[in-house]
Chains A and B, each alone.
Chain A
């Protein structure tokens, strides 16, 4: 074929020739396919799923740790309440996280079109990030308050004493007031850096697919 313009009539012929020359000559090795399908996925959804899995392990691990501590301190009602509260907090964090983990599917359904898959991916990413933020609140804030209370209980104070001690109460409230917005800000910033571009891209592509014409 010699140098010629493309027109509405020959553009497809042009493209098919191009495809034949440019892409059909590539050799695909069986070994490469085997290697690729046994590797771990680096897709964002897979990474998020893995992150959720680790957090579930943390939850289970800490719940077991607090359960052991509780069993060893059954004679101390204050410590029993404190550890019982911690176990409850982890259980509360675990349930929605586990539900989300089960929902995250990094495979593709044949019945889904690209628009539906993108919407599902966007929904998955935003809900996982939301749940991670909640996990952060449940994990860190009770940990800090629990740490303050545990220190006080071990130095001889009862839980009732702790809650009636204005200075200690103010410290706990102050820590919570500082920690909650700080953590929200920090996680928002980290998530924006890690996933902001991807979320924006998904949103744009969804809008484009829905409104293009």
Chain B
């Protein structure tokens, strides 16, 4: 691929980096696995970039690449290291709430995590269906149940 495509790809990645970090944090725990998955997402993205049509959103396409990589990624070992808390925060209580929500979502299975993350990031059911291959109806039902489950789990942990 040309140098201009390389520059374009890098700038797009810089703009949408949060998608990559989000998927990595949701799907792996181990620091080495995170590093490997990060490289693999960037590489898979680059390899597939020639297929990317400029008429669609890069963020949606990157989400697809990252989720695809995550769903087929093989973790090296079953070492459990708690997820990194990346940012330095000032509002401690709010962070606790956020971490709690993240923890609840991270505990879901691979497919559930994918659906709820896309939904919470603002994707419409039709778009989620296009990304995942599920039917809009199934997504609708699943989201309803998932949200109820997340809220219930959150409350349980929150009041514990």
Using a CB–CB distance below 8 Å, which chain A residues touch chain B? 1-8, 11-12, 14-19, 21-26, 28, 30, 32-37, 39, 41-45, 106-110, 113-118, 121, 197-198, 201-202, 205, 208-210, 212-213
Contacts of B137 in A (CB 8 A): 213
Contacts of B97 in A (CB 8 A): 1, 3-4, 6, 14
Q: Does B82 count as interface, using CB distance less than 8 angstroms? A: no
Do the beta carbons of B91 and A1 come within 8 Å of each other? Answer: yes
* A-B interface, 5 closest residue pairs, ranked by CB to CB distance from nearest: A115-B133, A113-B133, A36-B42, A23-B18, A1-B94
Compute how far the CA of A166 lies from the CA of B20 in the bound complex, rounded to whole angstroms.
66
> Majority SS of interface residues in chain A?
helix
Do the beta carbons of A107 and B10 come within 8 Å of each other? Answer: no
A21 in contact with B48 given A33-B13, A205-B111 (CB within 8 Å): no
Do the beta carbons of A26 and B86 come within 8 Å of each other? Answer: yes
Do the beta carbons of B68 and A114 come within 8 Å of each other? Answer: yes
Give 29 CB contacts A-B under 8 Å. A6-B97, A6-B101, A6-B151, A11-B151, A14-B98, A17-B98, A18-B102, A21-B87, A21-B89, A23-B25, A25-B87, A30-B10, A33-B9, A33-B13, A37-B9, A39-B43, A41-B47, A108-B44, A108-B51, A109-B48, A110-B61, A114-B64, A117-B68, A118-B68, A202-B72, A205-B71, A205-B111, A208-B111, A212-B142
Do the beta carbons of A114 and B114 come within 8 Å of each other? Answer: yes
Contacts of A36 in B (CB 8 A): 38-39, 42-43, 46
A22 CB to closest chain B CB (Å) equals 6
Compute how far the CA of A91 lies from the CA of B40 in the bound complex, rounded to whole angstroms.
35
Do the beta carbons of A5 and B110 come within 8 Å of each other? Answer: no
Compute how far the CA of A19 lies from the CA of B16 in the bound complex, rounded to whole angstroms.
12
A193 CB to closest chain B CB (Å) equals 13
Do the beta carbons of B43 and A37 come within 8 Å of each other? Answer: yes
B66 CB to closest chain A CB (Å) equals 11
- The residue that A21 contacts in the complex, of B20, B98, B134, with Cβ under 8 A, is B98
